[in-house]
Amino acid sequence: MSDMRNLKIRTVAVVGTGVIGASWAACFLAQGLDVSCTDPSAGAEDRLRAAIGRHWPSLEKLGLVAGASRERLRFSADLETALQGADFVQENGPENEQLKIDLFRRMDAVLPAHVILASSSSGLLMSKVQSACRHPERVLLGHPFNPPHMIPLVEVIGGQQTSVQAVQQAMDFYAAIGKRPIHPRKEVKGHIANRLQAALWREAFHLVEQGVATVSDIDTAIAYGPGLRWALMGPFVNLHLSGGEGGMRHLLDHLGPPIENWWADLGTPSITQALKEQIVAGVDQELDGTQQDLLTAERDQLLIGLLQAKAAAGNLP
């Protein structure tokens, strides 16, 4: 982990305080940072403070940094006011390319050139987002996974004009606050993790559409099958272990052709209105009688235990 003292980041501006922005704000506060938030929507500050209050017990269990306090949060509905004194910006606006181009142009216009502007965008390319900035070299992607206050992964990707130094500074910052940043070498829609998820979602929707399995069957297949292993190690290391003493080479020599055969048989469904209704009905049936707030709380408690266990493991990559 990097040393926060060497990064000179004391105040983070969180732009957009919906689900992701509020979670980021809680994360930064738990790391002992001052956090300045902004969101133009009515009632945004009340919703933000309520969300941080819900997240705080989980962050206390994971461990707060000395000096961490919810009192270090300030809010302004005015973007330029909220950006004053910011050393790092985490943007979480809607997934609208033109909106983000304009938003980053405004942020770039009022902040010193050394302040990194990071976007939480799930799929937009930073080469487009940075196009109207005077200092595009400091614009990059800092894409978290929901909920950011708990999940360590952050994907850090620059656009065509982003400097190598800015990418490294962002990687160092995220590592210093306990994240596991990765740096994809090329811009692609959806980045890395969302593309991997999308591949699974596509086949899950296909299997439901074809009547192979119910929504509940598929959730059970993942949650009580490969998902348990994926929570510990990635797909390549899991495949390696499946090869026994021969490892990955043995597995690919023996299962490579069957895997290619499965790939050729995977579906390419469209989310038609009929399929949409089928999926929604399936989820409603699976969760019948389950309160979503209790489900979320239980998920978070299990995540805490898993994260703590992984941190104590000595050999997991």
Q: Which contacts qualify for 70-73: CB closer than 8 Å, 24 or more apart?
A: 70/29, 72/29, 72/32, 72/33, 72/34, 72/35, 73/25, 73/29, 73/35, 73/36, 73/37, 73/48, 73/49
**pLDDT reported for residue 160:** 97
Cα angle, residue 74 at apex, residues 73 and 78 outer, rounded to 5°: 145
Residue 304 — very low, low, confident or very high, per pLDDT cuts 50/70/90? very high
Look at residue 308 and tell me whether its pLDDT is greater than 50. yes
**What's residue 148's pLDDT?**
96
Between CA 180 and CA 1 the distance in angstroms is 9
Would you call 188 helix, strand, or coil by DSSP? coil
Above pLDDT 90, what percent of the chain?
96
Task: Find all residues with CB under 8 Å of 143, minimum gap 6, and list them.
Answer: 119, 120, 121, 122, 154, 155, 156, 157, 191
Q: Residue 41 above 80 pLDDT?
A: yes
Q: Of all helices (H) and strands (E), which one includes residue 251? A: helix 247-265
Assess if CATH 1.10.1040.10 describes domain 193-286: yes
Residue 88 pLDDT level (bands cut at 50, 70, 90): very high
Mean pLDDT computed over every residue of the chain: 96
SS3 content of the chain, % helix, strand, coil (to 5): 55, 10, 35
DSSP state at residue 64: P
| pLDDT band (50, 70, 90) for residue 134 | very high
Could you tell me the residue ranges of all domains in the chain?
A: 4-182, 193-286
The distance from CA 226 to its chain's CA centroid, rounded to whole angstroms, is 21
Got the DSSP string for 257-286?
A: HHHHHHHHH-------HHHHHHHHHHHHHH
Per the CB < 8 A criterion, the answer to whether 282 and 216 are in contact is yes
What pLDDT was estimated at residue 7? 64
- Architecture in CATH for domain 4-182: 3-Layer(aba) Sandwich (3.40)
Q: β-strand 153-158 against 139-144: which pairing, if any?
A: antiparallel
How long a stretch of residues is the chain?
A: 317
Per-residue pLDDT band at 243 (split at 50, 70, 90): very high
Tens digit of pLDDT for each residue in 159-177?
999 999 999 999 999 999 9
Decide: 278 and 216 in contact? Cβ < 8 Å. no
- Predicted pLDDT of residue 172: 97
User: In this predicted model, what pLDDT tens digit does every residue of 65-78 receive, in sequence order?
Assistant: 999 999 999 999 99
Q: Please, are residues 98 and 126 in contact by the beta-carbon 8 Å criterion? A: no
Distance CA 35, CA 75 (A): 8
C-alpha 247/C-alpha 270 separation (Å) is: 37
Average pLDDT estimate for 76-95: 97
pTM of the prediction?
0.92
pLDDT at 129 over 70: yes
